[in-house]
Amino acid sequence: MRTSLMIASSVAVIGLTAGVFAATTPALADDQLTVTAGGGSFQQVLRKLIFDPFSKTSGIKITEAEYDYSNAKIRAMVETKTVSWDVVYAGDSGTRQMCAEGLIETIDWKKLGLDRTKFEGAEYSDCGVPAGIAASVVTYDKEKLPNGPKTIADFFDLKKFPGKRGLPKTPQVTVEWALIADGVPIRDVYKVLNTPEGIDRAFKKLDTIKKDIVWWTSGAQPIQLLADGQVVMTDAWNTRIYDAVKNSGKHFEMVWDGAVTNGNAWVIPKGTPRLDNAYKFVALAGSSQTQADLATYTSQGPGNREALALIDPAVRPNIPNNHSGSALPSDLSFWSEKGDELRQRFNAWLAK
């Protein structure tokens, strides 16, 4: 009697476990869509400006998911054919990488009903619809530093501006700025960086301020470091600075000289069972009005050039697109080829 009870319960446990696993395979429903972005306040803006209006007009229910911009989960989903994310807000370099590996859909611009030539940087990737442009800029607190830095060279000038500086703990932006500060013209930065001597030169320049750098790892940190007075100036993302100025009343000032710009894109993981809905969503997210609204809210530059004219004039000075003369667009092909090697060298340099 007891034995049979035990067997029955074991079978029940195994059955339940199997049931749990079975439930994770995506259900095929026509009227829903899972959209994934980086979470936080930005996702709240996305919800308000894109998700909710989309659900209202199309009747397609949106389930939200969050991720940390790491491509691993998408790769695992596609490789195991269990794609449960239908649309993802991804970084440009991630988009390129996933496109090269065939992890995301090639965008059919005709089906999308959008003009590819109107999109910033769309020619570089076949698999993403440019969603926005953010910039890494030198920032300082005008209250503490009334005569703040004007150029990247000032950022590296310890005599003129003594104190700690914040930089991201990656070679990206860091080595570019080192070369600009060392006198390389902005348009030649990647040409110089593509040579071994250029890389040596960048690290030599970084050596001069190495002991005065506070390295940050997440976008919220530089704002915190600056607000706390841990650093006199820092590299930060323009959208975060804009948010701190608008919503926290900070007196942060951006220096647009040498700003390194990076894009984001809407991508569709390969093999989603809801491809048509995904296209409908991306069409709305890529439209000029939606991108203009997003820019007005967040100061993220639009990926759709037609959106520029629709942005609130008060926000325009903070939009990276309006500083293209002094800015340096991050060279994605350089980073996808030399990134791993440079990061290894950078980490070895940091540890010394």
Instruction: Compute CA distances 13 → 5, 6, 8, 23, 120, whole Å.
Output: 12, 11, 9, 15, 54
**What does the per-residue mask of binding to another protein show for 193-212, with x meaning CB under 8 A?**
-x------------------
Enumerate the H helices of the chain as residue ranges. 2-23, 40-46, 52-58, 72-79, 92-100, 109-112, 152-155, 174-181, 189-193, 196-207, 220-227, 238-248, 275-286, 288-298, 332-351
25 binds another protein (CB under 8 A): no
Return the structure tokens found at 118: 């109107």
Question: Which residue of 7, 188, 207, 317 would you call a contact of another protein, by CB under 8 A?
Answer: 7
Q: How does 191-201 read in b/e, with b if 16+ C-beta sit within 10 Å?
A: ebbeeeebbeb
DSSP for residue 108: -
Rule CB under 8 A: is residue 217 a binding residue for another protein?
Answer: yes
Question: Which is nearest to 136 in space by CA: 174, 97, 169?
Answer: 174
Least separation in angstroms between residue 72's CB and another protein is 5
Member of 40, 57, 82, 350 binding another protein (CB under 8 A): 350
Q: Is 214 in the site for another protein (CB under 8 A)?
A: yes
* Phi, psi for 256 (deg, rounded to 5): -85, -10
The answer to whether residue 13 forms part of the interface with another protein (CB under 8 A) is: yes
Which residue type, as a one-letter code, is found at position 168?
P
The answer to whether 158 contacts another protein (rule: CB under 8 A) is no
Decide: is 82 part of the binding site for another protein (CB under 8 A): no
Report in angstroms how near the CB of residue 85 gets to another protein at its nearest: 15
Residues in contact with another protein, total (CB under 8 A)? 41
Crossing angle of the two packed helices 174-181 and 196-207, in degrees rounded to 10: 80
Applying CB under 8 A, which of residues 1, 19, 28, 68 lies at the interface with another protein?
A: 68
Nearer to another protein, 82 or 333 (CB): 333
Site string for another protein, 283-322 (x = CB under 8 A): ----------------------------------------
Residues 218-277 that bind another protein (CB under 8 A): 228-230
| Residue 69 DSSP label | S
Q: Running DSSP on this structure, what letter comes out for residue 349?
A: H
Footprint of another protein on this chain (CB under 8 A)? Answer: 3, 6-7, 10, 13-14, 17, 68, 70-72, 75, 97, 99-102, 169, 194, 214-215, 217, 228-230, 333, 336-341, 343-345, 347-352
